[in-house]
Structure 1
Amino acid sequence: MSGHAARPGEGGQAVLERIQVSVLPITGKHAPTSAVTSMERQDVNVTKKSTGKEISNTQRVWTSLVSGAIAGALAKTTIAPLDRTKINFQISKQPYSARAAVEFLRRALRTEGLLSLWRGNSATMIRIVPYSAVQFTAHEQWKRILSVNGAESKKPWASFLAGALAGVTSQTMTYPLDLMRARMAVTLKAEYRTLRQVFWRIYKDEGILAYYRGFTATLLGAIPYAGCSFFTYDMLRNLFAVYTVTIPGFSTSLICGGIAGMVGQTSSYPLDIVRRRMQTSAIKGQHYHTITSTIVKIYTEEGIMAFYKGLSMNWVKGPIAVGISFATHDTIRDTLRDVICEDRYT
């Protein structure tokens, strides 16, 4: 015990602590109180650094805005040709089939050229960049307001509500751009050459209220679509984290986002048909003025399956787009927040 003899002026408690420091770590069973405290602080700091809990809400907002904008642009550009094909079948009485979809793409290539498959994509970008940015940011903020805490959340309805409110928020702010994109997708280039021309023609021929034609149907569709998408995505991410081995983050987000996209698209697709008919009725010479009359007209003339026309294509493009969107958003957002945390802790 000579090595642990009391030093001049050293109390009994100090001697005991020195004995614990020198002896207990050797056994591997315990750690001294001061060492435990230090390790706990270090673990907390590492956790906060990796999860981004230390960043301010302002930093949360702008990192989510930037990552959401990039994610939306990349996802929509990837599936733009399929999107244009789907819209054309949605607004016509022609029965949908895979062969008919391929024929539409071949005809567009032959008569209008390769870039025609991305016709209206400039309007899509103008819309999707703010739409996706607002949606992802609003979802994170609504989750904070509703106290949705991932796997620890005891309120699954609140997770669905946060997604639904995010969809309503983003649709309300960007709807006119969605309408103009739909108009460009179903017309020839000679009819609407630029987004500015579409904007002016709608105002001149139909009035300012025309910018929100089909808006109610869009909101009704956004609630199940965004609610189911975000709810399914968060639920699957939590299940992956708890019950499976670790998979690289981008792959996990891609898989979960793909499944979430399929669920969301299926839940809201009939209302997507209704809103597309209402958005493009003025240029197609058809009369779709209200949700009820549009539903009755479609059902009477084309039958119940018309409300699911093109859904099989959505099961292809929807999971691709939503998977890319979620994965890109999460990857860029987490990278930006890691950079912020590294700057703070260095």
Structure 2
Amino acid sequence: MEDFVAGWIGGATSVIVGHPMDTVKTRLQAGTGYRNTLNCIFTMFKKEGVTGFFKGMSFPLASIAVYSSVVFGVFSNTQKFLIQYRYGDSNDSGTLSDLLLASTVSGVISVGLGSPVDLIKIRLQMQTEPFLKANLHWKPRPKDLCHPPMYRGPVHCMTSIIRKEGLVGLYRGASAMLLRDVPGYCLYFIPYAIINKWITPDDVRTSSPYSVCLSGGIAGAISWGTATPMDVIKSRLQADGVYSNKYKGVMDCICQSYEKEGFKVFFKGLTVNTIRGFPMSAAMFLGYELTLEILKGDETVTSH
């Protein structure tokens, strides 16, 4: 249970740190009219003020904490099970293959909970995009330029999707998320464990906050940076449907995006993904490890 609780605290911490740049990332990937990351930030600030960067944060803060709890809990307990099964001692450090399998299981499980959470978060982040930009083929009437937001909040967003598309609608983009998260979590947990072990002296029992932040930040930057191409597709599929439906599935989204914007479209948000991945993941792992240390008391907190 300690791993689940620690994952919940770490998840809440990462949302607070990373949500503003996550909103920028979503606008860059699924929106239109932004030249680059800085242009997107300045445009959002000019039109929406500081509050625009925190659009849709209440739902992730409440839900991603639970989502992170499950991901970290599943990863840690899967790793312990594998080590116990293979070596007969759950305190053994395990091997790279144990880390790989535990990360893969976490990535698969994450989609079940994370897909609806991500969908609602992205819909709330995107609904402040001008209505005419949501559908490039739509010819606006004067009264439509002041089109009200589609969703009044996360609960209204969720019920609207279910009413319109059924429960399956909450899993729009889930296949793209699966293709993003399985390799993404492998490149999240494995670099963290390797880097943390490398920079922590052999005679030190517990990793220092500095070691945790540095290794967690680097792991997050690697994971989010390499996940960008499929993250673009996932974001577009999940943002699709606020005002119109353009994509039939993952391959259709890939083909349409490539035909209209070229190969560079798959790297939209790469800079902001990599930059935000560092502080967000550093906060995630620091919150996780410190909480775990407090909950376990004098018990040694091992690197996961």
TM-score normalised to structure 2 length? 0.83
Aligned residues of 2:232 and 2:266 also touching (Cα < 8 A): yes
**1:274 CA drift (Å):** 0.7
| Structure 1 residue runs without a partner (length 5+) | 1-61
Matched, 1:172 2:112: yes
Using CA pairs under 8 Å that are at least 6 residues apart, name the structure with larger relative contact order, 1 or 2: 2
**Going by fraction, where is helix more abundant, 1 or 2?**
1
Indicate which of 233, 250, 258 corresponds to 2:217: 258
Task: Please name the residue that 2:69 is paired with.
Answer: 133
Task: Please name the residue that 2:125 is paired with.
Answer: 185
- Please show how residues 205-220 of structure 1 align to structure 2 within 5 Å: 205-220=164-179
Indicate which of 174, 194, 197 corresponds to 1:238: 197
**1:256 CA drift (Å):** 0.1
Identical-residue share of aligned pairs (%):
23
Is 221-230 or 100-109 further displaced after alignment? 100-109
Q: Residues 235 and 163 (structure 1 numbering): CA distance in 2 closer, same or farther, change over 3 Å? A: same
Indicate which of 264, 284, 288 corresponds to 1:305: 264
Q: In the aligned structure 1, how far is the partner of 2:170 from the partner of 2:37?
A: 32
Q: Residues 175 and 114 (structure 1 numbering): CA distance in 2 closer, same or farther, change over 3 Å? A: same
Task: Please name the residue that 1:90 is paired with.
Answer: 29
| Structure 2 residue runs without a partner (length 5+) | 85-89, 129-147
Indicate which of 187, 199, 202 corresponds to 2:158: 199
Task: Please name the residue that 1:48 is paired with.
Answer: none
Matched, 1:102 2:49: no
**1:93 CA drift (Å):** 4.2
How well do the aligned residues superpose, as a CA RMSD in angstroms?
A: 2.4
Q: Residues 317 and 172 (structure 1 numbering): CA distance in 2 closer, same or farther, change over 3 Å? A: same
Indicate which of 158, 162, 171 corresponds to 2:102: 162
Q: In the aligned structure 1, how far is the partner of 2:33 from the partner of 2:222?
A: 26
Task: Please name the residue that 2:142 is paired with.
Answer: none
Matched, 1:321 2:280: yes
Q: Residues 247 and 98 (structure 1 numbering): CA distance in 2 closer, same or farther, change over 3 Å? A: farther
TM-score normalised to structure 1 length? 0.74
Offset from partner CA, 1:268-324 (integer Å, 9 cap, x none): 211111111111111142412211111111111111111110110112111110011
- Please show how residues 5-20 of structure 1 align to structure 2 within 5 Å: none
The DSSP-based 3-state class of the residue aligned with 2:297 is helix
Aligned length: 276
Aligned residues of 2:27 and 2:40 also touching (Cα < 8 A): no
Q: In the aligned structure 1, how far is the partner of 2:75 from the partner of 2:189?
A: 8
Q: In the aligned structure 1, how far is the partner of 2:292 from the partner of 2:102?
A: 19
Is 129-138 or 205-214 further displaced after alignment? 205-214
Aligned residues of 1:160 and 1:228 also touching (Cα < 8 A): no
Question: Of the two, which has the highest radius of gyration?
Answer: 1
